[in-house]
């Protein structure tokens, strides 16, 4: 954790804020002094996340929102602006991993769901926040992509397609918003663990059946780690510092960039 208050007076909106990456990043930015608006589907997990972020001594508020509903997103963004006075930073992080199956057997309804949440949802949030930032002639946006959107993994057609789209959205938005002093970048985590997402990916790749992975989850875990030059999965706590860098002034001449957090996977 940083012990500086480099973001004193700033306001950050975090989506997917009740999840591991969203919460860890919200806590990091709060420790740097930013007030935090936490956006997620609602419920006890969101309430708990707000309480954890507030421990840093900053203003933290939770907002229940379905990012796939563009009208609802705009309403919530307007409410955040009314509550906090402005939005300086956006960590556009909400997402869904989807099913694991070869492309010829991938469930059509799940593909649509992944694209709706990961692409349409990210676009809705980015657009609504950008409208506000354009009016202020200032903003910093970080989208959560994935190494799945850099080199498509087997059995993950929906997730890979959605994250390739996020990289493209980031690049286009960075050009469209550059005249308004708004920078837009992305991060691409690879294998992150331990926890639910790591276990789920290992188990479902084992069940999917392919020439790329064993049917034994323990062996799949070894295969995945052996594909990483650093020979380990990343820790969730290794993500927030990269987001903080991209939001801060140390990256002032960077926009349209997708930074891998991947242990050497390129």
- Residue 220 within any structural domain of the chain: yes
60, β-bridge pairs: 36
Residue 152, token pair as written in the block: 């498509």
H or E, element range at 36: strand 35-40
Residues 51 and 167 both lie in one domain: yes
Residues 126 and 211 both lie in one domain: no
Residues 26 and 139 both lie in one domain: yes
Residues 135 and 45 both lie in one domain: yes
Range(s) of the domain holding residue 93? 11-190+235-261
Rounded Cα distance, 130 and 184, in Å: 10
Three-state secondary-structure class, residue 66: coil
- Residue 130 within any structural domain of the chain: yes
H or E, element range at 40: strand 35-40
Q: Which residues contact 74 (CB under 8 A, 6 or more apart)?
A: 124, 128
Per-residue pLDDT, 203: 97
Residues 85 and 120 both lie in one domain: yes
Residues 79 and 123 both lie in one domain: yes
- Which CATH number goes with the domain that contains 77? 3.40.50.720
Residues 212 and 90 both lie in one domain: no
* Active-site position among 63, 106, 159, 233: 159
- Residue 4 within any structural domain of the chain: no
- Residue 1 within any structural domain of the chain: no
Rounded Cα distance, 27 and 52, in Å: 7
> Position of tokens 């997103």?
73
Residues 40 and 157 both lie in one domain: yes
Contact 197, 205 (CB under 8 A): no
Residues 51 and 173 both lie in one domain: yes
Residues 93 and 208 both lie in one domain: no
Residues 199 and 172 both lie in one domain: no
Q: For this structure, is 159 an active site residue?
A: yes
Closest CA to 239 of 161, 123, 145, 99: 145
- Residue 2 within any structural domain of the chain: no
Number of domains in the chain: 2
Give CA torsion, residues 238, 241, 247, 249, to 10 deg: -140
Mean pLDDT by 10 residues, the chain (266 residues): 79 97 98 98 97 98 98 98 98 97 98 98 98 98 98 97 98 98 98 92 96 97 97 97 98 98 96
Per-residue pLDDT, 257: 98
- The 10 Å Cβ neighbour count of residue 172 is 12
Per-residue pLDDT, 121: 98
H or E, element range at 157: helix 157-177
Per-residue pLDDT, 1: 46
Q: Which residues contact 199 (CB under 8 A, 6 or more apart)?
A: 193
Residues 103 and 119 both lie in one domain: yes
Closest CA to 42 of 6, 20, 16, 9: 16
Per-residue pLDDT, 63: 98
């Amino acid at each position: 954790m940083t012990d500086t208050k480099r973001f004193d007076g700033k306001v950050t909106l975090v989506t997917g804020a009740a999840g591991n990456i969203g919460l860890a990043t919200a806590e990091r930015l709060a420790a740097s002094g930013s007030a935090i608006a936490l956006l997620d589907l609602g419920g006890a997990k969101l309430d708990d996340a707000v309480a954890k972020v507030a421990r840093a001594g900053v203003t933290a508020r939770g907002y229940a929102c379905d990012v796939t509903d563009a009208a609802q997103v705009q309403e919530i963004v307007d409410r955040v602006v009314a509550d906090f006075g402005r939005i300086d930073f956006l960590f556009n992080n909400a997402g869904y991993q989807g099913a694991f199956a070869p492309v010829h057997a991938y469930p059509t309804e799940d593909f649509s769901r992944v694209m709706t949440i990961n692409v349409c949802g990210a676009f809705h949030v980015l657009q609504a926040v950008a409208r506000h930032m354009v009016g202020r002639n200032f903003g910093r946006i970080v989208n959560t992509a994935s190494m799945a959107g850099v080199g498509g993994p087997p059995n993950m057609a929906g997730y890979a397609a959605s994250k390739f789209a996020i990289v493209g959205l980031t690049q286009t938005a960075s050009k469209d918003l550059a005249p308004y002093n708004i920078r837009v970048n992305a991060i691409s985590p690879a294998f992150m663990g331990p926890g639910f997402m790591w276990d789920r990916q290992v188990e479902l790749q084992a069940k999917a059946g392919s020439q790329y992975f064993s049917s034994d989850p323990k062996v799949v875990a070894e295969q995945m780690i052996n594909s990483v030059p650093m020979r380990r999965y990343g820790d969730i706590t290794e993500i927030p510092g990269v987001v903080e860098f991209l939001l801060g002034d140390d990256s002032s001449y960077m926009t349209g960039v997708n930074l891998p957090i991947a242990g050497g996977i390129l």
